Structure 1
Amino acid sequence: MNGRSLALLLLLAVTGLIVLIATDRLLAGRIDAERQTADERALLDLLPPGSYDNHPLAHPIALPASELLGIPAPTQAWLATREGTPVAVLLPATAKGYKGPIRLLLAIRPDGRLLATKVLGHRETPGIGDRIEPSRSAWLQVFTDASLANHPEAEWRVKADKGQFDQIAGATITSRAVVSATQHALQFFDGHRPLLLGGTSP
Structure 2
Amino acid sequence: MASYGYWIQENGWKGPSYISPMRYDSAIAYIVTAIFTLSLLVLGAALLYETDTSISGEQGLVSFASIMGNELHPAARWLFLLGFWSASFTSVIGVWNGVSYLFADFIRNVRKLNIDKEKLNQTKAFRFYVFWLTFPPMLLHFIGKPVGLIIVYGALGALFMPFLAITLLWLLNSKKELPEGRRNHWLSNLLLILCLVLFAVLAVNELRNLFA
> What's the TM-score, normalizing by structure 1?
0.27
More strand by share: 1
More helix by share: 2
> What's the TM-score, normalizing by structure 2?
0.26
